A = this chain, B = another copy of it.
Amino acid sequence: MNFSSDTSAPAHPRVIEALASANTGMEASYGGDTVTAALRGKLAAIFETEDFDYWLTASGTASNALALSCFCSSIGAVLCHEEAHIARDERGAPEFFSGGGKLQLLTGFGARIDRDALETALRQINPAFVHETPAEALSLTNLTECGTAYRAAEVALYAGLAKEKGLAVHLDGARLGNVLAKGKATAADMTWRAGVDVLTFGLTKTGAIGCEIILLFGDARKKFGELKARAKRAGHMPPKMRFLAAQAHAMLEGGLWLELAGQANARAQALADVFTQAGFDLAYPVDGNEVFPRLTDEAAGRLTAAGGVFYPWPGGAYRFVCSWSTAEAEIAAVAGALKA
Contacts and interface: CB of A to CB of B under 8 A. Distances in A.
Interface stretch (A11-19, A140-148, A151-159): A11-19
A230 interface: yes
A229 interface: yes
A107 interface: no
A27 B8 contact: yes
A210 B211 CA distance: 13
A296 interface: no
Contacts of A92: 74-75, 77, 100-102, 133, 233
A169 interface: no
Contacts of A11: 23, 240, 243
Interface centre among A59, A88, A93 (most CB of B within 10 A): A59
A25 to B, nearest CB: 6
B235 A234 contact: yes
Interface of chain A, main secondary structure: loop
Contacts of A25: 10
Contacts of A2: 26
A114 to B, nearest CB: 18
Interface stretch (A124-132, A248-256, A261-269, A272-280): A124-132
Given A23-B13, A74-B74, A74-B99, A236 B233 contact: no
Interface string A26-46: 111110000000000000000
A100 B95 CA distance: 5
Contacts of A239: 5, 7-8, 60, 204-205, 210
A139 interface: no
A66 B233 CA distance: 11
Nearest to A238: B210
Contacts of A27: 8, 10
Given A26-B2, A95-B102, A58 B130 contact: no
Contact of A28 (B8, B93, B96, B204): B8
A138 to B, nearest CB: 18
A89 interface: yes
B232 A234 contact: no
A20 B24 contact: no
A168 interface: no
Interface centre among A102, A105, A225 (most CB of B within 10 A): A102
Contacts of A230: 75
B226 A62 contact: no
Contacts of A105: 105
A9 interface: yes
Contacts of A259: none
Given A26-B9, A26-B10, A239-B204, A234 B101 contact: no
Interface in A213-232: 225-226, 228-230, 232
7 contacts: A2-B26, A8-B27, A19-B19, A75-B233, A91-B130, A99-B99, A130-B228
